[in-house]
Amino acid sequence: MTQHFIVIGNPIAHSKSPAIHEQFARQVGADISYQRQYCPADDASFIAVVEAFFCGGGVGANVTVPFKQTAYDCCAARGGLSDHAKTAGAVNTLLINKALVAKGASIAEAIYGDNTDGQGLVNHIASLGWPLADARVALIGAGGAARGVILPLVEAGIDTLTIANRTVSKATDLVKELSDTSPVIAAKKIESCATSELSGAFDIVINATSIGLSGDTLPLDNNLNCQYAYDMMYGRALPFLQHFAARDAQVSEGYGMLIGQAALSFERWTGHTIDVAKATESLSQKS
Ligand code: ATR
C-alpha cells in the first residue's frame, strides 16, 4: 500500500524534498507518494493542514519555512517532542506517536515532532571523513539554524565549542537557554564571542548564519584558521568557503546536510536505512 508524505511550507514550489524522498524510495524499493503542500502563513491554517493530512492516513510530514516553530508549539501541546526538537526549539519532521494512540489518544492528539536538521549536518560531516570526536569547533551564528545543530554536535563528542555571532548577546543568551534545557549541553563548556573576534586555530568552523542569502561577507579575522570549513547554505557562491579554501582548508557546502536530514526523516517514518552517499550521487547527476 502506498505510504503518503508531504512537505509543508510557504513558499513551497521549489522544495527539493519530493525528488530526494522519491530517490530514497527507489533505493529501498518502498511504495511512497511525497507531495509539496502549500499552506497560508498562519497557525490555524497550519494546524488544519496537518490534522487533515494525518487524520486522512498520512504517515509523515516535513515542515519548512515559516512553520518550524508553529509545528513545535503544535506538537508540544499534542503528541510530544524529541530531545532534538526541544533543544532546537523547532520541528522539521512530524509523525504519529503510536504509543499515545495505543493508550486511546486520537490521531490529532498524537501528532509528534522531531528535528533531524542537526543530526543531518553531523552525519554529512562524518561522511566527509572530517573527525568530530575531540574536535575544536567554532559555530558562527546564533539564530534558528545554529540552535538546531548544537546538541547533535555536543553528542558527537566534540572537545570545545565556541559560538560567534554579530550580536554577541544572542550567542550568550542561546548558550544559557540551551544549558538550562539540556543537561548534555550544560555539561559542556561553551564560549561565545563576536564574529569579528573569533580567532585562533579550530579543527572545524561552521557557518550557520543566513549571510549567504544577502551577498554580504562575514568579518573574519586574519588569525582565524581551521582544517575544515562547512557552510550550511548551498547552491550559490559562498565567500565563507572561498575564504578558507584559499587557506588550504577542506570545505563543503550544505547540500549533503539537506540529504542527511531527509534520510533521517525517511528512516524514522519507514524503518528503511538510506545509503546517503549513494542517494546524493544519484541526485547530483540529475540536477
Ligand atoms: P536562521 O533560521 O537561518 O538561523 P535567523 O534565526 O534569522 O535565521 O538567524 C540569522 C543568523 O545569521 C543570526 O545569527 C544573524 O546574526 P544576528 O543575530 O547578529 O542578527 C546572522 N546574520 C544574518 N545576516 C548577517 C550579516 N549580514 N552579518 C553577520 N551575521 C548575519
Determine the pLDDT at residue 287: 61
If you average pLDDT over every residue of the chain, what do you get? 96
Residue whose cell numbers read 544549558 = 179
Mean pLDDT, to the nearest integer, of 180-188? 95
Strand-pairing partners, residue 193, are 164
User: Out of 183-187, 202-206, 276-280, which region has the weakest mean confidence (pLDDT)?
Assistant: 276-280
pLDDT digits (tens, 9 = 90+) for 42-99: 999 999 999 999 999 999 999 999 999 999 999 999 999 999 999 999 999 999 999 9
Helix axes 17-28, 276-286, angle to 10 degrees: 130
Ligand 1: centre distance to CA 213 (Å): 10
CA angle 94, 47, 116 (to 5 degrees): 20
Determine the pLDDT at residue 267: 98
Q: Closest residue (by CA) to atom 2 of ligand 1?
A: 144
Ligand 1: centre distance to CA 67 (Å): 18
pLDDT digits (tens, 9 = 90+) for 88-110: 999 999 999 999 999 999 999 99
Indicate whether residue 207 lines ligand 1 (CB < 6 A): no
* 198 close to 164: Cβ distance less than 8 angstroms: yes
What is the grid cell recorded at 24? 530514497
Cα–Cα distance for residue pair 258/256, rounded to 1 Å: 5
For residue 103, the SS3 value is: coil
Domains of the chain as residue ranges with CATH:
3-115+257-286 (3.40.50.10860), 119-253 (3.40.50.720)
Mean pLDDT, to the nearest integer, of 141-145? 96
Strand-pairing partners, residue 4, are 33
- Give, for ligand 1, the residue of 174, 197, 210 to mutate: max count of ligand atoms closer than 8 Å to Cβ: 210
For residue 103, indicate whether it is catalytic: no
Cα–Cα distance for residue pair 186/176, rounded to 1 Å: 8
Please give the helix or strand (H or E) that residue 22 lies within, else none. Answer: helix 17-28
CA angle 73, 265, 69 (to 5 degrees): 20
